[in-house]
């Protein structure tokens, strides 16, 4: 699909931790530094699965009652086809307090078969052991024992999760640090930008670890020209 990255290009980004990707995005100066990432209340449940990256498919759920508007699962599956793989489900739970979990072993395996690599929600999840064994990422606000009356009430719309507005097709990345969005217009260049920042940071870090550390040397390295985009030739 037009405007999306290849699997190889996504993998180049996935090699970096989200903190490095966040730093790289700052280099392009296309959004404020206090925007573009989810708040710390959205937790990574499986840090050892490594970074997750994919395109957002969005929905809204509630678990308070079986009554009211309901989007049927086949309609949700149809919405999925509008976004390429790998996919990340980004679901806003309208219940406060959060009550029932949309995500468990069944839904995780269904969505994995549909090309998803994980789910992000400001609601809850369950079947924690079984879902980890399936290799499916969970980023969530909390864990719950029950699904209650959980059902979809809207799909394919912008949602706010963890303070971040996510639209269908947004490029989403998450790891043990949290979740952020990567502007698709600069995504291909993110690995190179991350490398530029790493090349500036590493001499400082290595010098701080060395037996020859001193303030003068630290000042020299810390005040060296910082990377810019596009790179200076």
What residues does each domain of the chain span?
7-187, 190-222
- Residues sharing a CB contact under 8 Å with residue 120, sequence separation 6 or more, in sequence order: 38, 42, 88, 89, 90, 91, 139, 140, 161, 162, 172, 174, 179
pLDDT band at 107 (very low <50, low <70, confident <90, very high): very high
pLDDT tier for residue 1 given thresholds of 50, 70 and 90? low
Token pair, residue 2, equals 């037009």
Give the model confidence (pLDDT) of 12-62 as tens digits.
Answer: 999 999 999 999 999 999 999 999 999 999 999 999 999 999 999 999 999
H helices present in the chain, as ranges:
7-14, 18-28, 73-80, 105-113, 128-133, 190-209, 215-222
Q: Is 14 helix (H, G, I), strand (E, B) or coil?
A: helix
For the segment 147-197, what is each residue's pLDDT rounded down to a tens digit? 999 999 999 999 999 999 999 999 999 999 999 999 999 999 999 999 999
Question: What pLDDT digit, counting tens, does each position of 83-94 carry?
Answer: 999 999 999 999
- CATH says 7-187 is which class? alpha beta
Q: What is the pTM of this model?
A: 0.95
């Amino acid at each position: 699909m037009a405007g999306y990255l290849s699997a190889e290009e996504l993998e180049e980004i996935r090699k970096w931790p989200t903190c490095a990707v966040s730093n790289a995005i700052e280099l392009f100066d296309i959004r404020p530094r206090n925007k573009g990432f989810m708040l710390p209340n959205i937790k990574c449940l499986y840090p050892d699965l490594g970074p997750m990256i994919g395109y957002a498919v969005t929905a809204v759920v509630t678990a308070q009652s079986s009554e009211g508007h309901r989007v049927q699962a086949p309609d949700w599956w149809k919405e999925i086809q509008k976004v390429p793989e790998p996919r990340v489900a980004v679901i806003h739970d309208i219940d406060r307090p959060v009550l029932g979990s949309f995500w468990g072993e069944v839904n995780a395996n269904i969505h994995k078969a549909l090309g998803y690599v994980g789910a992000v929600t400001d609601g809850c999840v369950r079947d924690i052991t079984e879902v980890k064994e399936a290799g499916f990422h969970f980023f969530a606000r909390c864990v719950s024992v029950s699904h209650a009356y959980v059902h979809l009430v809207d799909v394919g719309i912008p949602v706010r999760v963890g303070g971040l507005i996510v639209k269908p097709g947004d490029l989403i990345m998450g790891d043990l640090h949290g979740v952020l969005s990567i502007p698709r217009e600069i995504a291909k260049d993110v690995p190179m930008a991350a490398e530029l920042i790493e090349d500036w940071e590493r001499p400082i870090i290595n010098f701080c670890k060395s037996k020859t550390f001193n303030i003068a040397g630290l000042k020299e390295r810390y005040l060296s020209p910082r990377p810019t985009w596009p790179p200076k030739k």
